[in-house]
Amino acid sequence: MKKFTITALALCISVSLSAQEQVDMATVQKIRQEGLENSKVMDIAFQITDVAGPRLSNSPGLKRAQDWAVRQFTSWGLKNVHLEAWGKFGKGWQIDKYYAATTLPYYHAIIGAPKAWTPGTKGAIKSEVILIKADTVTDLLPYKGKLAGKIVMFDQVTLQPLQNSYKPDAVRYTDAELDKMADATAQPQGQRPRPANNMMAQMMKMREVRAAMASFMLEEQVGLILTYARGNHGTFFTSNGAPYALDAKPVSPELEISAEDYLHMLRLLRAGEKVEVEADIRTSFYDQDPQGYNVIAEIPGTDKKLKEEVVMIGGHYDSWHSATGATDNAAGAAVMMETMRILKAINFKPKRTIRIALWSSEEQGLFGSRGYVAQHFGDPKTMVLTKDHKKISAYYNLDNGTGAIRGIYLQGNAQAGPIFKEWLSPFHDLGAKTVTINNTGGTDHQAFDAVGIPGFQFIQDPMDYNTRTHHSNQDTFDRLAEEDLKRAATIVASFVYNTSERNEQIPRKELPKAPETAKP
């Protein structure tokens, strides 16, 4: 792929800049040279994924990755490097061994993974698979006393044969799609509509039924439950099968398997054929330290008046367990770490302090970032704010896969729009020029936005994030797009530089109201 060098940068210098938002092109040039020609982002990603492994919350894999990040930040000369507790999470968990295969009607290795926070099989087991047909707890009564040690699966009548897709897995935003984002208008802020009462009642009933069925399986001492996993072509999207709380009730061993393997067995069993499966699953729980931790590091500010103010960047460091969490979110974490490396490599002495956070437990509910914000800046439930709330200029996040940065979501902050347009102007040749008023959700910038701190997520090309890698067994180092990550780190480093040097902080939206005082 073509490299963008200092020569390419010269084409951007002619961009006219407003008097208010002058961009120091000499510094941008240094950032581009270091980020595009001397990148270490893939080396960082390798350590986070291939070396550390899966990074489920409070697991040994996450601890390995966190300890490595602390050592790496320290070696780069960053300051105030530490693990910081954000609050109580619960048990860690990891897979120690997984094996499963059909042995009748013939041998076939099964693609799958134990569901997170479920126990193992207590050794190797082999059983004829029992197909359970039950929509209610009452439907389970005929199976009472017949399931001890057995491998079971449910006859899900709603399952349909897999269909081929004639759309590409990996895509980039088209110019038309980006133009539509740029032309969007601000939407009124308000509470999300609640589900209708009948829908809520149905959801609660389904939860009760599932809980009752799980209790029945545990009481019957089922050997292993086989569960259908969303996905196709050998890709499956994983989840947790039990709570992670220290006092969580025990559950049965549960194996989430690919759609192809589940449907294969289901067809055989429906036709009256015998299916036999053998399995050996071993998992471990870790409850010695239930606290959750974030990795924090800084480049201290140098301006006498501004060094107490902070520019923050971050991405979540935890992942799911069926792969190594490359696009979700080693990619974002590696880009943000590379951003700090770039700024140190060019010997940048920022006016404001630059702080990075690698969050934990994002996958369970943005816990790491929300805990950090509550401790340092304010509680969104009461909107009681700390003195440091006024000291943070902005927070920038990356957590939408490996795709190139194409622009930034304003999160409804219209005043920031003209500023960011100027800051993106040197990177139009990299395809990054879109500024949209739109909000985007589902990741850690929301923790900052919730207390009125300017929090932003960059627009990234979708690639195959939603079709192939997000929370799946395919989320490995091989899915990372090197050139995209190089460009992303370069753009983020420039944004951080500009934010740290700007005379004023990034403009803020109106401060949110506490939920109890907000209008319905």
Using CB atoms within 10 Å of the CB of residue 112, give its burial: 0 to 12 exposed, 13 to 18 middle, 19+ buried: buried
Type of residue numbered 368: G
Burial of 170 (0-12, 13-18, 19+ CB in 10 A): middle
Give pLDDT tens digits along the chain (520 positions). 444 444 344 334 333 344 468 899 999 999 999 999 999 999 999 999 999 999 999 999 999 999 999 999 999 999 999 999 999 999 999 999 999 999 999 999 999 999 999 999 999 999 999 999 998 889 999 999 999 999 999 998 788 889 888 899 999 999 999 999 999 998 765 555 555 667 767 777 777 888 889 999 999 999 999 999 999 999 999 988 899 999 999 999 999 999 999 999 999 999 999 999 999 999 999 999 999 999 999 999 999 999 999 999 999 999 999 999 999 999 999 999 999 999 999 999 999 999 999 999 999 999 999 999 999 999 999 999 999 999 999 999 999 999 999 999 999 999 999 999 999 999 999 999 999 999 999 999 999 999 999 999 999 999 999 999 999 999 999 999 999 999 999 999 999 999 999 999 999 999 999 986 555 4
Q: Counting beta carbons within 10 angstroms of the beta carbon of residue 77, is it exposed (0 to 12), middle (13 to 18) or buried (19 or more)? A: exposed
Cβ neighbour number for residue 126 with a 10 Å cutoff: 15
Q: What CA–CA distance (Å, rounded) separates 242 from 237?
A: 16
3-state helix vs strand vs coil in the chain, percent to 5: 35, 20, 45
Chain-centroid distance of CA 114 in Å reads 20
* Token pair for 232: 């196709």
- For 365, residues 6+ apart whose C-beta sits below 8 A from its C-beta are none
**Rama region for 35: left / alpha / beta (φ>0; ψ in -120 to 50; rest):** alpha
What's the pTM?
A: 0.93
340 in Cβ contact with 354 (< 8 Å): yes
User: Containing H/E element for 154?
Assistant: strand 151-154
CATH number at 92-175+197-286? 3.50.30.30
Packing angle of the helix pair 331-345, 25-37 (nearest 10 deg)? 120
Domain residue spans of the chain: 19-90+298-501, 92-175+197-286
Give the CATH superfamily of 19-90+298-501.
Zn peptidases (3.40.630.10)
- Closest alpha carbon to 457 in 369, 374, 382, 389: 369
Q: Say if 19-90+298-501 and 92-175+197-286 have the same CATH topology.
A: no
Integer Rg of the chain from CA: 25
